[in-house]
């Protein structure tokens, strides 16, 4: 089975990005970059499925040349090879259209992506790709018994593949939904699908020798004109810190008379 996994290079979610004084962009200088956390979960799931079913895991990233670092992290976890599509920052629609092209070339049985990239918070690319390909989709994949389960301890995948079909548990409003899809299909990950492994030192060494194909986006002949244009970046309104109260009685008093929240 061939699995394509996408990994986006994003700013470290533990640090706050700065906005350029004129609001024209974000200041990424001096920021540290990480693989999108949902994409690490995607790589992990792909590796577990590969262990069960054999085949190959290919890590794809679109972005600057530096995104090769995030591809190497996926390779260090255990994926076999990488594809870096060199481009400017693309909107999710352009990402999906470029991926359509790669899917035509690679013919994977399954594509696993994150549900959302923590920079842009779009939550679109996987669904767009499935729509363009006409493939079934299961977004927000989870593990039925959660991260505390025996299955997770045994490093079993949450996605079940049998007879050319994938069964996926999804996190939705009000509960968990189960879908079964014919392969090929697109899955996007939620937080409760698995605990991604850390790359081992030998893994990191091996990753340096694994093949990564680098393609300038122009060579793929895909129109990447964005459909979403960002005009301005601003700080959100900030909330003022309030007061510290000394007792439950004082809290209740304030909630009743001052905030009128009770």
Partner 1 sequence: MSNVLVVAELSEGSLKRATETCVTFAKDAAARTGGKVHGLVLGQGVDGIAQELAKRVDVVHVVDQEALKDPMAETYAQAIKAAADAAGATIVTMAATAHGKDVMPRAAALLNAGMASDILGFASDEGMAMRRPIQAGNVIATVELTSDIKVISTRPTEFDPAPEAASPGEVKALSVELAPPKTRYVKFDKIASERPDLTDATVVISGGRGLKEAGNFPKLIEPLADKLNAAIGASRAVVDAGWVPNDMQVGQTGKVVAPNLYIAVGISGAIQHVAGMKGSKTIVAINKDPEAPIFQLADYGLVDDLFKIVPELTEKL
Ligand X SMILES: Nc1ncnc2c1ncn2[C@@H]1O[C@H](COP(=O)(O)O)[C@@H](O)[C@H]1O
- The footprint of ligand X (CB under 6 A) covers 6-8, 36, 38-39, 61-63, 90, 92, 95, 113-114, 116-117, 120, 122-126
Collapsing DSSP to helix, strand or coil, 104 comes out as helix
Please identify which residue in 116, 159, 161, 196 interacts with partner 1, judged by CB under 8 A: 116
Minimum CB distance to ligand X, residue 216 (Å): 14
Distance, in Å, from the CA atom of 241 to the CA atom of 91, rounded to the nearest integer, reads: 36
- Cβ-contact 57, 40 below 8 angstroms: no
Please identify which residue in 72, 91, 109, 141 interacts with partner 1, judged by CB under 8 A: 91
Judged by beta carbon distances under 5 to 8 A according to partner kind, the member of ligand FAD, partner 1, ligand X, none in contact with residue 50 is: none
Please, what is the Cα angle at 87 between 107 and 229, to 5 degrees? 105
Task: Name the segment binding partner 1 (CB under 8 A); options: 52-60, 205-213, 215-223, 238-246.
Answer: 238-246
For tokens 């593990």, the residue is 143
Judged by beta carbon distances under 5 to 8 A according to partner kind, the member of ligand X, partner 1, ligand FAD, none in contact with residue 113 is: ligand X
Q: Token digits for 175?
A: 């509960």
Q: Would you say 63 or 78 has its CB closer to ligand X?
A: 63
Distance, in Å, from the CA atom of 42 to the CA atom of 168, rounded to the nearest integer, reads: 13
Collapsing DSSP to helix, strand or coil, 261 comes out as coil
Minimum CB distance to ligand FAD, residue 118 (Å): 5
User: Which x/- pattern, by CB under 8 A, does the window 182-211 give for partner 1?
Assistant: x--x----xxx-------------------
Give the DSSP letter of residue 109: S
Minimum CB distance to ligand X, residue 154 (Å): 26
- The footprint of ligand FAD (CB under 6 A) covers 13, 37, 118
User: What angle, 0 to 180 degrees and rounded to 10, lies between the N-to-C axes of helices 125-133 and 92-106?
Assistant: 50
Residue 1's closest CA among 162, 215, 228? 162
Task: Give the β-pairing of 33-35 and 9-11.
Answer: antiparallel
Please identify which residue in 86, 101, 151, 167 interacts with partner 1, judged by CB under 8 A: 167
Minimum CB distance to partner 1, residue 81 (Å): 27
- CA distances from residue 217 to 17, 32, 89, 154, 212 in whole angstroms, order as listed: 27, 25, 11, 40, 15
Judged by beta carbon distances under 5 to 8 A according to partner kind, the member of ligand X, ligand FAD, partner 1, none in contact with residue 173 is: partner 1
Q: Is there binding between residue 164 and partner 1 (CB under 8 A)?
A: no
Judged by beta carbon distances under 5 to 8 A according to partner kind, the member of ligand X, ligand FAD, partner 1, none in contact with residue 8 is: ligand X
């Amino acid at each position: 089975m061939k699995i394509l996994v996408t990994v986006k290079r994003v700013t470290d979610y533990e640090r706050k990005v700065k906005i350029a004084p004129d609001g024209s962009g974000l200041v990424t200088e001096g920021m540290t970059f990480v693989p999108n956390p949902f994409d690490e979960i995607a790589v992990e799931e792909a590796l577990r499925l590969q262990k069960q079913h054999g085949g190959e895991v290919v890590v794809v990233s679109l972005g600057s040349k530096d995104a090769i670092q995030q591809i190497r992290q996926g390779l260090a976890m255990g994926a076999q090879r990488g594809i870096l599509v060199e481009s400017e920052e693309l909107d999710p629609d352009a990402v999906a259209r470029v991926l359509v092209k790669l899917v035509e070339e690679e013919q994977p049985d399954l594509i696993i992506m994150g549900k959302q990239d923590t920079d842009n918070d779009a939550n679109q690319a996987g669904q767009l790709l499935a729509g363009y390909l006409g493939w079934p989709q299961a977004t927000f994949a989870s593990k039925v018994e959660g991260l505390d389960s025996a299955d997770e301890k045994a490093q079993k995948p949450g996605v079940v593949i049998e007879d050319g079909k994938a069964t996926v548990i999804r996190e939705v409003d009000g509960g968990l939904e189960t879908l079964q899809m014919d392969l090929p299909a697109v899955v996007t990950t939620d937080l409760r699908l698995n605990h991604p492994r850390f790359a081992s030192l030998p893994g990191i060494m091996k990753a340096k020798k694994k093949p990564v194909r680098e393609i300038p986006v122009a060579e793929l002949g895909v129109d990447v004109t964005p459909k979403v244009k960002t005009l301005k970046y601003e700080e959100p309104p900030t909330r003022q810190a309030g007061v510290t109260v000394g007792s439950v009685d004082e809290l209740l008093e304030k909630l009743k008379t001052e905030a009128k929240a009770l």
